[in-house]
Structure 1
Amino acid sequence: MWTGILLSALAMTAIIAGRYLASSGLFALVTNRVRPGYHAKLSGQIRREIAWSLASAAIYGIPAGVVAWGWQQRGWTLIYTGWNDYPLWYLPLAPFIYLLAHDSWFYWTHRWMHRPRPFRIAHAVHHASRPPTAWAAMSFHPWEALTGAVVIPALVLMVPIHVAMLGLVLLVMTVMGVTNHMGWEMFPRKLVHSALGGWLITASHHQRHHEEYRCNYGLYFRFWDRLCGTDRGLSETL
């Protein structure tokens, strides 16, 4: 059993690390074309971002590997594979529940990590990226990485989700995590400044967090920021 769990954790770590390198690398290449010179003086920072991110991949990989093993060998989770196992209307609802739950957890843990002691101990690693780059998406101190690593493994134990919809959640997590740190806005201005865009977090919104620290704490949605009065709008530098 323990050998199986260890191999599963190693496999998930490799997958997460590979996903990070591929996605961040792709958007870093796009950044170099859209914003030539943006990374020119950031080579040292980028090396640190990659090192911290690969360490984070291991921390994310361990609980993910345990849960993946439990799903396949013990049926621990509520991940399902049959399209008719639950009503079809539930298929798109489950990813929204996951993203909303993850966003809520992230908002409050992120806001807590901006208190002086947690910031100094852990969150300062992420904010050492000045300006943030596509490589900073997983650049976390291990304590911070741990707070993020438990979310999806916990949710699959509590909320049913089709394996394909879980893949969609992971895709959204990856794309938004990277694109929100690129230092430029890849989404159309009409979307960012639309009524819908007013509730979504993109690079323009998250960049302001990296500029001012005490605002814009959300991950996917601006709901908690708006409700709690911590939304200060979009960065004027992008």
Structure 2
Amino acid sequence: MDTLIWVLERLWRGFTFDFTRYFLAAGGVYLIVWVLFNKQFAPLKIRKKTPRTRQMVIEFLTSMRTVLIYGFVGFLTFWGIESGVMRYYLDMEEYGTAYYIFSILFMIVAHDAYFYWTHRAMHMRGVMKYIHGEHHKSMNPTPWTAYRFDIFEAASHALFVPLFLLFVPLHHGVIGIFLIHMIIRNAMGHSGYELFPRSWATHPILGWLNLVTHHDMHHANGNYNFGLYFTWWDRICGTEHPDYIARVTKTPGATRANPQGTAEPVHLPAE
């Protein structure tokens, strides 16, 4: 009986935590950008068309399945930690502050690599339809698209944390910061509004960050822009959309090599 209570308690904690995380991030971005300050954010809108309410309802309902999957994986993570399988610690002094900060940054960079390569695999012929097709039904994304996944895709994303914990010792605060960062960036990346300064795209350092337009273009054309937080994998592997700089900076003909663009008209992705 005690074991059953332990299982049910941790399942419930996993489900409620992940629902709250998704709802506050997606709902927060939606409320701020789409509702409260819609007029102020209007110039930052990436596409002319606005998704219908029906799409957002479907996105939310589909996301509840993802919440259940994340919650179950969260339960498995609890079990792994309490059984000593996962490399988890509570005392900050055990590894020190420097390691604490390093582990946050390392986890984000590692997750970006994990996401890029699993994401590209999901776009392989014969795979996309069954694993990643649900997400791309939102061709014009909204903040609620953040969790619109097929079952296997949701499991792939959720498994990153327990897999990482098998090899890298993490403080519980690091896991919390990572999960909050992940869902906020996810919701922002699907917001449909360029929430970052457009000039960052061509900055020598900030240009390595994925701006909202980067992922929005992926939803418009799934052959490019597979990265999550950073542009480096797309740039190294040649999968960044050739019109990304022109689109994000609104400078026809602009490229990374020539941020000023040209006087010649250049085709930009469809709105």
Larger radius of gyration: 2
The alpha carbon displacement at 1:234 in A equals 4.4
- Residue identity in the other structure for 1:147: S
Structure 2 CA distance for partners of 1:167 and 1:55, relative to 1, 3 Å: same
* Matching of residues 74-89 of structure 1 within 5 Å: 74-89=83-98
- Tell me which of 98, 105, 123 is aligned to 1:114: 123
**Partner in structure 1 of residue 103 of structure 2:** 94
Give 5+ residue unaligned stretches, structure 2: 251-271
Structure 2 CA distance for partners of 1:192 and 1:171, relative to 1, 3 Å: farther
Structure 2 CA distance for partners of 1:234 and 1:184, relative to 1, 3 Å: farther
CA contact (8 A) 1:208 1:234 kept: no
- Tell me which of 218, 221, 232 is aligned to 1:223: 232
**Partner in structure 1 of residue 16 of structure 2:** 14
**In terms of mean alpha carbon deviation, does 187-196 or 46-55 score higher?**
187-196
- Tell me which of 222, 225, 247 is aligned to 1:236: 247
**Partner in structure 2 of residue 28 of structure 1:** 30
**Partner in structure 2 of residue 52 of structure 1:** 62
* Matching of residues 136-147 of structure 1 within 5 Å: 136-147=145-156
Structure 2 CA distance for partners of 1:234 and 1:19, relative to 1, 3 Å: farther
The alpha carbon displacement at 1:63 in A equals 1.5
CA contact (8 A) 2:225 2:240 kept: yes
Structure 2 CA distance for partners of 1:196 and 1:20, relative to 1, 3 Å: same
- For these two proteins, the number of residue pairs brought into alignment is 237
- Which structure has more relative contact order (CA 8 Å, sep 6+)? It is 1
The alpha carbon displacement at 1:189 in A equals 2.8
TM-score for both structures, normalised by structure 1: 0.91
CA contact (8 A) 2:51 2:140 kept: no
TM-score for both structures, normalised by structure 2: 0.80
Structure 2 CA distance for partners of 1:184 and 1:41, relative to 1, 3 Å: closer
The residue matched to 1:184 in structure 2 has which SS? Answer: coil
CA contact (8 A) 2:14 2:75 kept: yes
Identity rate, percent: 31
Q: In the alignment, is residue 181 of structure 1 matched against residue 183 of structure 2?
A: no
CA contact (8 A) 1:207 1:235 kept: no
The residue matched to 1:158 in structure 2 has which SS? Answer: coil
- Tell me which of 131, 136, 140 is aligned to 2:140: 131
CA RMSD of aligned residues (A): 2.2
Looking at structure 1, the residues matched to 17 and 95 of structure 2 have their Cα atoms a distance apart, in angstroms, of 28
Q: Give per-residue Cα distances to partners, 1:107-165, cap 9 Å, x unaligned.
A: 11111111232111131211111210000011101111111111111112210122212
